[in-house]
Amino acid sequence: MPMQFKVRIFEVEQGQNEIVLNEESGAALGINHFDRVSVRSHSRKAMAIADFSHELIRSHEIGVFEEVANQLQVKNGDWVFVEPVHRPESLEYIKKKLDGRTLTGSEIGTIIGDLMQETLSSTELAAFISAIYTKGMSVEETAELTNAICESGDVLNFGQQLVVSTHSIGGVAGDRTSMIVVPILASLGLKIPKTASRAISSASGTADAMEVLTNVTLDLQQIKRVVDKTNGCLVWGGAVRLASADDKLIRIRNPLHLDPKPLLLSSILAKKKAEGAKYVIIDIPVGSGAKIEDVEEGKALARDFENLGAHLGIKVQCLISDGSEPLTHAIGSALEAKLVLETLEEKRMNLLLEKSCLMAGVMLHLVKGVSKEEGYRMALQQVHSGAALEKLQQIIVEQGGKRVTSKDVKTGRLHAVLKARERGKISHVDNRAVSQLCRMLGAPQDKGAGVLLKAAKGQHVEKGQELAVLVSNSKEKLAYALQQTENLPLVQVQRIIIDVV
Amino acid sequence: MPMQFKVRIFEVEQGQNEIVLNEESGAALGINHFDRVSVRSHSRKAMAIADFSHELIRSHEIGVFEEVANQLQVKNGDWVFVEPVHRPESLEYIKKKLDGRTLTGSEIGTIIGDLMQETLSSTELAAFISAIYTKGMSVEETAELTNAICESGDVLNFGQQLVVSTHSIGGVAGDRTSMIVVPILASLGLKIPKTASRAISSASGTADAMEVLTNVTLDLQQIKRVVDKTNGCLVWGGAVRLASADDKLIRIRNPLHLDPKPLLLSSILAKKKAEGAKYVIIDIPVGSGAKIEDVEEGKALARDFENLGAHLGIKVQCLISDGSEPLTHAIGSALEAKLVLETLEEKRMNLLLEKSCLMAGVMLHLVKGVSKEEGYRMALQQVHSGAALEKLQQIIVEQGGKRVTSKDVKTGRLHAVLKARERGKISHVDNRAVSQLCRMLGAPQDKGAGVLLKAAKGQHVEKGQELAVLVSNSKEKLAYALQQTENLPLVQVQRIIIDVV
């Protein structure tokens, strides 16, 4: 027996479909706190989680949060019908996983389907994530999960053409290899539609740095057009709905700081599968201050990726790289974009170019059957010939920007110099501390903010020598960040004489 | 660096402390979705979980949900200061439990403390509950948890006087033993301050049935006064803050349908400890349709209760009872209250009276050292002498009601008769189906609604014979419920000849 209620809209996003009823109306409907209801407006229907209010909602009213209001296309004062619905089946399967049992493909598909239908609450999703964290998943389950996540969103389709992709687990400041690998491989005729992320806890993501040079918010058709024309793209993944169930899972996983391996693996490979990639190279930076500190752990993760790839029909090759220090001296969106252009313009060898050519070389080894060394030389040749820079410019233009040189890139107008407080040898430059400092300087919102490192590991420095230049567009932020460097282990200087007894 | 925002109140209870900021303000504060912030008003301070809105909240505004608005005592247009706070320590301990490690008393205390301070979000609590569900807790951890939950709320204190209590795991329709056990034991000089619950999924809880006769919403001081005067009480636990962390945990557990044993055990014994009980009898009904279906499972739970009690300095004695069928023929708040009074007035032996005297007898065995048989006789004597009825009347009066007889109790004015559709023997009367039917009839909101069973298990019935009378105050509900009986396995009649081949 559905009951009728008058809509009162609460203009707040809840991250889940939610409505609020008066406690007595809830009792009359026979529902408890967090039970599910179906809400029907004149023309639409939505599922929602029911919450109760003691006094604020009168018995003939329903409080409707933004997501539900949009789905129902209702306004204040409209009438809607509400009735209880059964608990979704997927709750049984979440329990099954909590009990340590193996889920079938159809059960996993049902969970992801309910997730997409917004019929699972955040607490239920937290239980699902906890279940996977504590009980794990077999490679078969993980493959089913990856397929279900991939199918939850849009996919790119390039027909019979060979599509490749690269991905980095991240955590290394200044690692903008994608901005060089993509043009190299695209210039050699491979399709590489790269969807990248924005900074989460770092100074800049690939999408942020690329956005300094061109538009990165493209829809699926625009991406298709750019890649058809240039073979590559470098766009923000958040603007398209590839593997969209993953975004919903990440929204719950991040605040919990829970990264169960099956979710980490499926998250990355579902996106790659949705890009249509048949060959994928995954960079796993390892070292102190990186996401993975231990080489053996990195290798185990590599095997898991390759194994899962095999179940998905994707050839995955992982690289373990040194992630203990920033890859380049320029950290921050504009500083990084500028360095990428400088590197391609001046064809100057640096760690960024070397790593990019190594990665491109491995990809060429996989798809063209050449040796890795030959692949590396082929990649470097594309840089030396200017083909890589030309390809990057084409991609920039097709995505909606103008051809640029490194000199056109504006970085922050305010600078401060960080100097060595004592003489010694630099023992460590910390990724996390560099990212934190950049954020104090205004990154990632202030694209011009960042840090230029002036000293590298192993180097001897004198007291008062420049260690880094802090860059920002805000005076207050610059002053605050400079003051904070006293507590940040940004550049660690090892004294030559530790102590005099 | 705290930032200042203008308050916009959202008059909605969120079940957790929550505020909403514009996405850019969140980035400026350096916080992510679901991070914690401290919010400071003119005179108060509160912790809250931060959510973001794209457009609805302007960059100088903060959306404040009801809980936070109350704590801060702010109104629309007030200014507050917001700054990020560290992740609470307890998240590390929740992770530790997810990793299967043992928590110390201080770690458990920190989690419950943060829970009470509202610094844990519902998803984090869901992860905690999932962790306990998948990894379990030792009896020592469970005892620490019970103590922390007990200390989270108010406690009753009767000095040196002997306090006892009883509890039923529930799930048996019509089981109003507390309303007879409490007056029996109180009339024999034991202090028994019984806090009871309302119906969750059943037709009526002890608090609902007692409310037909008197006020059950008493505060701590009123309870103390009633028990000082009469030795007993029968009040609604929801009106006092005994073991209040438990209520918050249940708010998350119930919709998840997760009942990890350590939480079940601690939930019950924390409330008993807060009542000040030194001796506790726990009734564990077992059987088809009860919460626990298997006797061995019931016995294992009994050992866990007794074991945990020993760690808490409480002598716990469990009883395994037959929970496969309703205990009495009258189900529904008023019908049950009426039957309790009739039983005590007419001193008529029935299952309700027998079970009550058995439970009271076991308690007398524990505290007075008499044999259980002697205890049973002593209990029955209190009923026969009229002392139990007189004590119940005293409690009713002290709680704010008037002396009543069973004839004063008003039950629903509309009746419908459910008849046997065929001849046969009654093989089962289902608790869950009876509860469901009562709720269709309007229970628990309609105190007069319920079911009077007219046939019991084992009995032979003829086609057309009365099986039950449905009672309600709503014509629509009565018609709807009667129609639904066709699909409900309320009374199962076994045909004598199953089939004729």
pLDDT value, residue A470? 95
A chain contacts of residue B12, beta-carbon cutoff 8 Å: 10, 12, 20, 51, 53, 56, 63
**Distance, CA of B251 to CA of B10 (rounded, Å):** 22
Question: Which among B33, B444, B445 has the least Cβ separation from residue A255?
Answer: B33
- Is residue B455 a contact partner of residue B466, using CB atoms and an 8 Å limit? yes
Q: Identify which of B392, B396, B393, B358 has the alpha carbon closest to the alpha carbon of residue B378.
A: B358
pLDDT value, residue B132? 97
Question: Which among A53, A123, A258 has the least Cβ separation from residue B122?
Answer: A123
Measured in angstroms, the CA of A183 and the nearest CA of chain B are apart by: 31
Task: Say whether residue A101 is in contact with chain B using an 8 A CB cutoff.
Answer: no
The low-confidence residues of chain B, meaning pLDDT below 70, are 1, 54-55, 488, 494-501
CB-neighbour burial class of residue A494 (10 A; exposed 0-12, middle 13-18, buried 19+): exposed
**Is the pLDDT reported for residue A344 higher than 90?**
yes
- Is residue B266 a contact partner of residue B111, using CB atoms and an 8 Å limit? no
- Is residue B106 a contact partner of residue B52, using CB atoms and an 8 Å limit? no
Residue A411 contacts by C-beta under 8 Å, 6 or more apart in sequence? A332, A334, A335, A338, A448, A450, A471
SS (H, E, C) A336-350: HHHHHHHHHHHCCCC
- ipTM value, please give it: 0.77
| Omega before B444 within 30 of 0, i.e. cis | yes
**Distance, CA of B205 to CA of B211 (rounded, Å):** 10
Strand bridging mode B424-429 / B491-494? antiparallel
> Of the residues A208, A259, A322, A499, which is catalytic?
A259
Q: Cα separations (Å) of A194 from A204, A219, A240, A361, B486?
A: 16, 13, 12, 17, 60
pTM, whole model, 2 decimals? 0.83
Computed over every residue of chain B, the mean pLDDT equals 91
B chain contacts of residue A30, beta-carbon cutoff 8 Å: 439
**Distance, CA of A411 to CA of B295 (rounded, Å):** 74
Q: How many helices (H) and strands (E) does chain A have?
A: 18, 18
Q: Are B257 and A95 within 8 A, CB to CB?
A: yes
CB-neighbour burial class of residue B296 (10 A; exposed 0-12, middle 13-18, buried 19+): exposed
Identify the three-state secondary structure at position B328: coil
**Distance, CA of A223 to CA of A234 (rounded, Å):** 9
Q: Helices A105-116 and A244-256: crossing angle, nearest 10°?
A: 80
Q: Say which amino acid occupies B202.
A: S
Q: Are B256 and A124 within 8 A, CB to CB?
A: yes
What percentage of chain A carries pLDDT values higher than 90?
66
What percentage of chain A carries pLDDT values higher than 70?
97
Q: Are A255 and B15 within 8 A, CB to CB?
A: no
Residue A236 contacts by C-beta under 8 Å, 6 or more apart in sequence? A195, A196, A197, A198, A207, A211, A216, A217, A218
Show which of residues 236-255 on chain A sit within 8 Å of chain B, judged by CB atoms. 251-252, 254-255
Q: Are B134 and A130 within 8 A, CB to CB?
A: yes
Q: Are A445 and B27 within 8 A, CB to CB?
A: yes
pLDDT digits (tens, 9 = 90+) for B163-190: 999 999 988 999 999 999 999 999 999 9
Q: When comparing pLDDT for A424 and B181, which is higher?
A: B181
**Distance, CA of B199 to CA of B204 (rounded, Å):** 5
Task: Say whether residue A469 is in contact with chain B using an 8 A CB cutoff.
Answer: no
Q: Are B24 and A445 within 8 A, CB to CB?
A: yes
pLDDT digits (tens, 9 = 90+) for A472-481: 999 988 998 8
Question: Which among B87, B123, B131 has the least Cβ separation from residue A122?
Answer: B123
Q: Are A100 and B20 within 8 A, CB to CB?
A: no
**Is the pLDDT reported for residue A498 higher than 60?**
no
Query: In the numeric block, which tokens belong to residue A166?
Result: 């690269």
Computed over every residue of chain A, the mean pLDDT equals 91
Residue A166 contacts by C-beta under 8 Å, 6 or more apart in sequence? A177, A178, A181, A182, A192, A194, A280, A281, A282, A283, A359, A363
A50, closest residue in chain B (CA to CA): B255
Q: Say which amino acid occupies A84.
A: P
Q: Are B445 and A24 within 8 A, CB to CB?
A: yes
pLDDT value, residue B501? 47
- Is residue A98 a contact partner of residue A131, using CB atoms and an 8 Å limit? yes
Whether B259 sits among the annotated catalytic residues: the reply is: yes
B chain contacts of residue A124, beta-carbon cutoff 8 Å: 126, 255-256
**Distance, CA of A438 to CA of A338 (rounded, Å):** 16
**Distance, CA of B415 to CA of B473 (rounded, Å):** 9
pLDDT value, residue B397? 98
| DSSP-H helix ranges across A369-465 | 372-384, 387-398, 431-440
A56, closest residue in chain B (CA to CA): B11
Q: What strands lie across the sheet with A491-494, from one edge to the other? A: A460-461, A424-429, A491-494
Q: Are A12 and B56 within 8 A, CB to CB?
A: yes
B11, closest residue in chain A (CA to CA): A56
Strand bridging mode B192-196 / B164-168? unpaired
Measured in angstroms, the CA of B194 and the nearest CA of chain A are apart by: 25
Angle at A450 between CA A444 and CA A453, to 5 degrees: 145
Provide the Cα torsion A3, A9, A14, A16; round to 10°.
Answer: 30
B chain contacts of residue A35, beta-carbon cutoff 8 Å: 255
Task: Say whether residue B126 is in contact with chain A using an 8 A CB cutoff.
Answer: yes
A chain contacts of residue B25, beta-carbon cutoff 8 Å: none
pLDDT value, residue A210? 98
Query: In the numeric block, which tokens belong to residue B169?
Result: 């795991």
- Is residue A108 a contact partner of residue A93, using CB atoms and an 8 Å limit? yes
**Is the pLDDT reported for residue A497 higher than 80?**
no
Strand bridging mode A45-53 / A36-40? antiparallel
Q: Any idea what DSSP says for residue A236?
A: E
Task: Say whether residue A474 is in contact with chain B using an 8 A CB cutoff.
Answer: no
pLDDT digits (tens, 9 = 90+) for A2-34: 889 999 988 777 778 889 998 878 877 878 878
pLDDT digits (tens, 9 = 90+) for A207-233: 999 999 999 999 999 999 999 999 999
| DSSP-H helix ranges across B284-332 | 295-312
**Distance, CA of B63 to CA of A130 (rounded, Å):** 30
**Is the pLDDT reported for residue A487 higher than 80?**
no
Mean pLDDT (whole number) for A418-442: 87
Residue B241 contacts by C-beta under 8 Å, 6 or more apart in sequence? B153, B154, B220
